[in-house]
Amino acid sequence: MKIIIYVYDGMTMLDAIGPYEVLRNMTDAEVLFVAEEKGEIKADSGFIDINVKYNINDINQADILVIPGSSIAFMKEIENENVLNWIREVDKSTKWTTSVCTGSIILASAGLLSGLKATSHWKPINLLSQFNAIPTRERVVEQDKFITAAGVSAGIDMAIYLSNKIVGEIETRAIQLTIEYDPQPMFNDGNYLSADDEVIKLADKKLIREAKKELGLLGMLKNSKNILKILK
Amino acid sequence: MKIIIYVYDGMTMLDAIGPYEVLRNMTDAEVLFVAEEKGEIKADSGFIDINVKYNINDINQADILVIPGSSIAFMKEIENENVLNWIREVDKSTKWTTSVCTGSIILASAGLLSGLKATSHWKPINLLSQFNAIPTRERVVEQDKFITAAGVSAGIDMAIYLSNKIVGEIETRAIQLTIEYDPQPMFNDGNYLSADDEVIKLADKKLIREAKKELGLLGMLKNSKNILKILK
């Protein structure tokens, strides 16, 4: 079972590591982290880099493709034709093509989610409609062979859902026990639809501050159309 | 707010990345990944390396120390006096010293959890008593300034618990929304105390297979006393 996780500068680490930690526990799983160019790939935080051994010219087929999201770097990826072409190519070979967080916006920009329901991080989810996908506020959305997950931590739920399809219930339950996934969220604010307004406003502020930090003034201007759509 | 996450060859990635992704979202958080020697640090899966910029000689103080766990590599760390001395030194400066999974066994072996309750991954949790800590099957255990978490994914809950103590409820709820932590576990087997026997047996098999793969026959013999304790 060959699993490609596409990684890129500015991605959100947990988006990749959540699904990886579930899927790599499937018997016979082989996980390959693949970037446009191999070497150091920096997370959005600036605090951690991973070391990537494969570039997109090395590998173009997989059973499962996972596209993680990012705070803001996905905006660069949705215009990167080199990567989008590779995603389309890999997708031809996959049994499942999946995403976490804003990874779905990358899949959609590759034209793979046209006319399909998809989910994404609660903040930029409406950008999906720009690429003819149908934004759907659920944690995990399955449509044909595409499985998209909501923001960041939702990748764990997506991968368990996918593992259940591939290796069945008993092995998936054993994986859930192996990673001791018995979540006990402290608050009820993990979901946009049930979070308090005050909490949403503060999370909004955090996300906008992060976008400003990463894009700078020039980047904010360049991406102003999309940013305005996200802010709506 | 200076946060050190100690990393080492063979660690479980989600153990580190779960807490990191919560704590780095606290305003003014600075997260430093620190290894015994800087450079590539390999995860237990063999599928991913991180690139570490600081070694233990560079940094010996922090507000928060996080010790991630590992499938089996923790057995090497609990005998690594160089690292244990550094952990004792950093601990002198921390407001909070924390662990995920078998990271608590490393803290205990440094002598920091003597007489204190602590949790760990369900499988090797009883090893804690070898170092005079009191094994406690809870997801997050707070004792004095030590907060230990159960296996792998429990680090997310631990970090939210800790964030709530440091930056308060509203900011922590906004962080929970930012990472969309609204977990929807597919099965009820994430907890050893409620998982089915069949599922426990299969997870056991997976963990033993992983230990054999990582330690080899020689390593299994060398660590046989501890391994027998884990198998009990």
Out of B44-48, B203-207, B227-231, least confident range: B227-231
Query: Which amino acid belongs to residue A146?
Result: F
Residue type present at position B110: A
Average pLDDT over residues B179-194: 95
Amino acid identity for residue A9 in this structure? D
Q: Measured between alpha carbons, how far is A66 from A97 in angstroms, rounded to an integer?
A: 6
Q: Interior CA angle at B77 toward A14 and B222, to 5°?
A: 125
How far apart CA B50 and CA A20 sit, in angstroms, is 14
Instruction: Count the neighbouring beta carbons within 10 Å of the beta carbon of residue B12.
Output: 30
CB atoms within 10 A of CB A85: 13
Mutate to test the interface with A, among B34, B48, B152 (most CBs of A within 10 A): B48
Determine whether the interchain pair A184/B14 forms a contact, defined as Cβ–Cβ distance below 8 Å: no
The CATH code belonging to domain B2-185 is 3.40.50.880
- B13/A20 touch (CB, cutoff 8 Å), yes or no: yes
At residue B138, does pLDDT exceed 80?
Answer: yes
pLDDT value of residue B230: 76
pLDDT in tens, A56-69: 999 999 999 999 99
CA–CA separation, B185 vs B212, rounded Å? Answer: 29
Percent of chain B with pLDDT over 90: 88
Return the pLDDT at B214: 83
Residues of B in contact with A21 (CB under 8 A): 12-14, 152-153
Q: Average pLDDT of B123-145? A: 97
Q: Which residues pair with B142 in a beta bridge?
A: B147
Write the pLDDT tens digit of every residue in B2-41: 999 999 999 999 999 999 999 999 999 999 999 999 999 9
Mean pLDDT of chain A: 95
Q: What is the pLDDT of residues A186-200, one digit of tens each?
A: 999 999 999 999 999
Task: Give the single-character DSSP code of A183.
Answer: -
Measured between CA atoms, how close is B219 to chain A, in angstroms? 22
Contact residues, chain A, for B26 at CB < 8 Å: none
How much of chain A exceeds pLDDT 90, in percent?
Answer: 88
Under DSSP, the state recorded for B195 is S
CA A104 – CA B145 distance, rounded (Å):
41
Tokens of A112: 């793979």
User: pLDDT value at position A135?
Assistant: 98
- Summarize the confidence of residues A34-44 as an average pLDDT: 97
Rounded to 5 degrees, φ, ψ at B48 are: -145, 140
**Res B211: pLDDT:** 84
Answer for the pair B38, B9: CB distance below 8 angstroms, yes or no.
Answer: no
- Contact criterion met (CB < 8 Å) for A186 and B170: no
Residue B159 predicted with pLDDT over 90: yes
The distance of Cα A39 from the centroid of its chain, to the nearest Å, equals 21
State the average pLDDT over residues A91-106: 98
ipTM comes to: 0.95
Q: Which long-range contacts (CB under 8 A, 24 or more apart) does B48-54 make?
A: B48/A20, B48/A31, B48/A33, B48/A50, B48/B13, B49/A50, B49/A51, B49/A53, B50/A48, B50/A49, B50/A50, B50/A51, B50/B7, B50/B13, B51/A40, B51/A49, B51/A50, B51/A51, B52/B7, B53/A49
Per-residue pLDDT, averaged over B51-65, amounts to 97
Nearest chain B residue (CA) to A193: B177
Q: Which of A5, A51, A121, A178 to mutate to test binding with chain B, by most B CBs within 10 Å of its CB?
A: A178
Which class does domain A2-184 fall in? alpha beta
Nearest chain A Cα to B192, which residue? A177
CA distance B178 to chain A (A): 6
- Looking only at the bridges linking them, the beta strands covering B146-149 and B140-143 are antiparallel
- CA-nearest residue to B17 within chain A is A14
Q: Is the pLDDT of residue B232 over 70?
A: no
Q: What is the pLDDT of residue A214?
A: 83
Strands (E) across A2-113 are located at 2-6, 30-35, 39-42, 49-52, 54-55, 64-67, 96-100
- The tens digit of pLDDT for each residue in B104-130 reads 999 999 999 999 999 999 999 999 999
Domain layout of chain A by residue ranges: 2-184
Alpha carbon B91 to its chain centroid, in Å, reads 15
Find the closest chain A residue to B161 by CA distance. A186
Instruction: Please state, in angstroms and rounded to a whole number, the distance separating the CA atoms of residues B226 and A121.
Output: 44
> How far apart (Å, rounded) are the C-alpha atoms in residues A118 and A111?
13
Q: What is the pLDDT of residue A232?
A: 62
Phi, psi of B221 (to 5 degrees): -65, -45
Looking at residues B99-108, what average pLDDT do you find? 98
Q: Taking residues B61-80, what's their average pLDDT?
A: 96
